[in-house]
Chains A and B, each alone.
Chain A
Amino acid sequence: MSYIPGQPVTAVVQRVEIHKLRQGENLILGFSIGGGIDQDPSQNPFSEDKTDKGIYVTRVSEGGPAEIAGLQIGDKIMQVNGWDMTMVTHDQARKRLTKRSEEVVRLLVTRQSLQKAVHQSMLS
Chain B
Amino acid sequence: MDTESQYSGYSYKSGHSRSSRKHRDRRDRHRSKSRDGSRGDKSVTIQAPGEPLLDNESTRGDERDDNWGETTTVVTGTSEHSISHDDLTRIAKDMEDSVPLDCSRHLGAAAGTTLALLSFLTPLAFLLLPPLLWREELEPCGTACEGLFISVAFKLLILLLGSWALFFRRPKASLPRVFVLRALLMVLVFLLVVSYWLFYGVRILDARERSYQGVVQFAVSLVDALLFVHYLAVVLLELRQLQPQFTLKVVRSTDGASRFYNVGHLSIQRVAVWILEKYYHDFPVYNPALLNLPKSVLAKKVSGFKVYSLGEENSTNNSTGQSRAVIAAAARRRDNSHNEYYYEEAEHERRVRKRRARLVVAVEEAFTHIKRLQEEEQKNPREVMDPREAAQAIFASMARAMQKYLRTTKQQPYHTMESILQHLEFCITHDMTPKAFLERYLAAGPTIQYHKERWLAKQWTLVSEEPVTNGLKDGIVFLLKRQDFSLVVSTKKVPFFKLSEEFVDPKSHKFVMRLQSETSV
Contact = CB atoms under 8 A, between A and B. Distances in A.
Interface of A: 28-29, 31-35, 39-40, 42-44, 58-59, 61, 90, 94, 97-98
Contacts of B519: 32-34, 90, 94
Contact of B513 (A29, A33, A42): A42
Contacts of B518: 32-34, 58-59
Nearest to A45: B516
B516 A39 contact: yes
Contacts, number: 41
Contact of A31 (B514, B516, B521): B521
Interface in B497-519: 513-519
Contacts of B516: 34-35, 39-40, 43-44, 58
Contact of B517 (A31, A39, A59, A98): A39
* Interface size bracket, B side: under 10
B521 to A, nearest CB: 5
A97 B520 CA distance: 10
29 contacts: A28-B520, A28-B521, A31-B521, A32-B518, A32-B519, A32-B520, A32-B521, A33-B518, A33-B519, A33-B521, A34-B516, A34-B518, A35-B516, A39-B514, A39-B516, A39-B517, A40-B513, A40-B514, A40-B515, A42-B513, A43-B515, A58-B516, A58-B518, A59-B518, A61-B520, A90-B517, A90-B519, A94-B519, A94-B521
Nearest to B516: A34
A97 B521 contact: yes
Contacts of A31: 520-521
A40 B517 CA distance: 9
A40 B518 CA distance: 12
Q: Is the interface of A mostly helix, strand, loop or mixed?
A: mixed
Pairs of residues from A and B, 10 with the lowest C-beta to C-beta distance, nearest first: A32-B520, A34-B516, A97-B521, A40-B513, A34-B518, A29-B521, A32-B518, A43-B516, A39-B516, A94-B519
A98 B363 CA distance: 66
Contacts of A34: 516-519
Nearest to B520: A32
Q: Pick from B514, B516, B517, B519 the residue with the most CB of A within 10 Å.
A: B516
A28 B513 CA distance: 30
A98 B520 CA distance: 10
A79 to B, nearest CB: 15
Contacts of B513: 40, 42-43
B520 A59 contact: yes
Nearest to B514: A40
B405 to A, nearest CB: 55
Contacts of A98: 521
Contacts of A59: 518, 520
A110 B516 CA distance: 20
Nearest to A61: B520
Nearest to A56: B516
A35 B516 CA distance: 6
A34 B515 CA distance: 9
Contacts of A40: 513-516
Q: Pick from B517, B520, B521 the residue with the most CB of A within 10 Å.
A: B521
Nearest to B513: A40
Nearest to A39: B516
Interface string B474-515: 000000000000000000000000000000000000000111
A42 B515 CA distance: 9
Interface in B330-383: none
Contacts of A97: 521
Contacts of A42: 513
Contacts of A43: 513, 515-516
A112 to B, nearest CB: 19
A87 B515 CA distance: 19
Contacts of A58: 516, 518
B494 to A, nearest CB: 46
Contacts of B514: 39-40
Nearest to A96: B521
A94 B514 CA distance: 18
B517 to A, nearest CB: 6
A94 B516 CA distance: 14
Contacts of B515: 40, 43
Contacts of B521: 28-29, 31-33, 94, 97-98
A107 B513 CA distance: 30
A90 B517 CA distance: 8
Nearest to A33: B519
A15 to B, nearest CB: 18
Contacts of B520: 28, 31-33, 59, 61
A97 B519 CA distance: 11
Nearest to A28: B521
